[in-house]
Amino acid sequence: MPDIRYLLPASEPKFKDSGITKAGELLKAWNGSPATGIGLIGAPLSKTSISHSGAAMAPEAIRKMLHSFTTYSVEKDKDLKSMAITDFGDITPHVTDLKETQNRFVKVIQEVLERNPDIIPVILGGDHSISASSIRAFKKVKGPVGIIQFDAHHDLRNLEDGGPSNGTPFRQLIEGNDIKGEHLIQIGIRDFSNGRMYTNYAKENGIKIYSMNDVNRLGARRILEESVRTLKSKVSSIYVSVDMDVLDQAFAPGCPAIGPGGMNSEDLIQGVQYLSTCPDVKGMDIVEVDPTLDFRDMTSRLAAYLILQFLLNRP
Ligand SMILES: N=CN[C@@H](CCC(=O)O)C(=O)O
Ligand SMILES: [Mn+2]
Ligand SMILES: [Mn+2]
């Protein structure tokens, strides 16, 4: 670029405050050597969604929204500016072969985890189908895994009606013997969003359900403390799966399956912040954000904020 004062590449921010670092600046492309800390992996797949979804565009939108935050937490008086978030990029889906795409997701995430044993992966969906691949890879590398799933839905649908979709990831994991039912805890399950057959399937398989009434009665923090305590006595690591439709529609307009009566964003934020203090929590995904449905990037921005909260208490 020719050296003319005030003439900058279009991609550069138009204003730089010398006292502020933007959270987007923490993203550092993986250089191939073993990384530590939080590592982002994009899993841009939403052709597997039952409802119309553009969630494949979420990894890009969420990364962009990191630039709307600074690195400073006023609550903790802590600046994250010297930390890095390793960006592993996005996994390339096959255009038409969804099973091939899901296999690729397993293989790539497995290889990233094997070559970076100390990273805490944050996988950005994509619709919720990606969690079946991601948790399968996670278990291959880390051993028995317990799951804390934030979701309005069980995602335990039968596989005969539509094959592996965003409604089936936890059914696939149970039927594939990747996890036991007792290693899955579902938080935020809500009315008129599920079928009795699937709630019964959850109960018969020992899955612990905290409905929205439980969240309102006990508080997310107490539920998470109980969940971490239960899981850590049974498994070697905990994976958190955040389906953003666990939130009330007022907080997550960019999810395909929005509805009323869900969690508020503050409870989810505090919950993720608490989970970031738990050494047994070794991975997370954020799914079901569709930037094409979103309003003023509210849902992508909240997803980016959750990543920062997840980073906040890491050494
Ligand atoms: N992960 C989302 N699962 C929901 C929504 C499915 C959809 O409509 O796309 C479910 O199975 O009901
Ligand atoms: Mn859901
Ligand atoms: Mn889901």
Any ligand 1 atom below 6 A from CB of 50: yes
Which residue, among 266, 251, 260, 261, has the nearest Cα to 296 in the 3D structure? 251
3 is in an annotated binding site: no
Pocket test for ligand 1, best of 127, 129, 157, 166 (most atoms within 8 A of CB): 166
| pLDDT given for residue 315 in this prediction | 72
Any ligand 1 atom below 6 A from CB of 293: no
The beta-carbon contacts of 157-166 under 8 Å, at least 24 apart in sequence, are 157/198, 162/50, 163/98, 164/48, 164/98, 164/99, 164/102, 164/129, 164/132, 165/48, 165/49, 165/50, 165/127, 165/129, 166/46, 166/48, 166/49, 166/50, 166/53, 166/127, 166/128, 166/129, 166/287, 166/288
Give residue 54 CA to ligand 2 midpoint distance, Å.
15
| pLDDT given for residue 35 in this prediction | 98
Any ligand 1 atom below 6 A from CB of 164: no
153 is in an annotated binding site: yes
| pLDDT given for residue 12 in this prediction | 84
d(CA 212, CA 236): 28
Any ligand 1 atom below 6 A from CB of 190: no
d(CA 259, CA 246): 9
pTM of the model: 0.97
d(CA 162, CA 231): 31
**Considering only CA atoms, which residue is closest to atom 8 of ligand 1?**
51
d(CA 212, CA 315): 33
Q: Is the dihedral of CA 12, 15, 19, 23 positive or negative?
A: negative
Any ligand 1 atom below 6 A from CB of 155: yes
Q: Which ligand has the nearest atom to the CA of 257?
A: 1
Residue type, 102: Q
d(CA 42, CA 45): 9
| pLDDT given for residue 313 in this prediction | 87
Q: Which atom of ligand 1 is nearest to the CA of 169?
A: 1
Any ligand 1 atom below 6 A from CB of 167: yes
128 is in an annotated binding site: yes
d(CA 194, CA 242): 17
Q: Which ligand has the nearest atom to the CA of 49?
A: 1
> Splitting the chain (315 residues) into consecutive groups of 10 residues, what average pLDDT does each group show?
85 90 98 98 98 98 98 97 97 97 98 98 98 98 98 98 97 98 98 98 98 98 98 97 98 98 98 96 98 98 98 85
Give residue 151 CA to ligand 1 midpoint distance, Å.
10
Give residue 229 CA to ligand 3 midpoint distance, Å.
23
94 is in an annotated binding site: no
Domain annotation for the chain: domains and CATH numbers: 23-160+167-312 (3.40.800.10)
Work out the number of other CB atoms within 10 angstroms of the CB of residue 72. 16
Any ligand 1 atom below 6 A from CB of 49: yes
Task: Tell me how long the chain is.
Answer: 315
Any ligand 1 atom below 6 A from CB of 294: no
Give residue 167 CA to ligand 3 midpoint distance, Å.
6
User: E strand or H helix at 312, and its extent?
Assistant: helix 298-312
Two structure tokens written together for 145: 């895994």
155 is in an annotated binding site: yes
Residue 238 in contact with residue 282, Cβ under 8 Å? yes
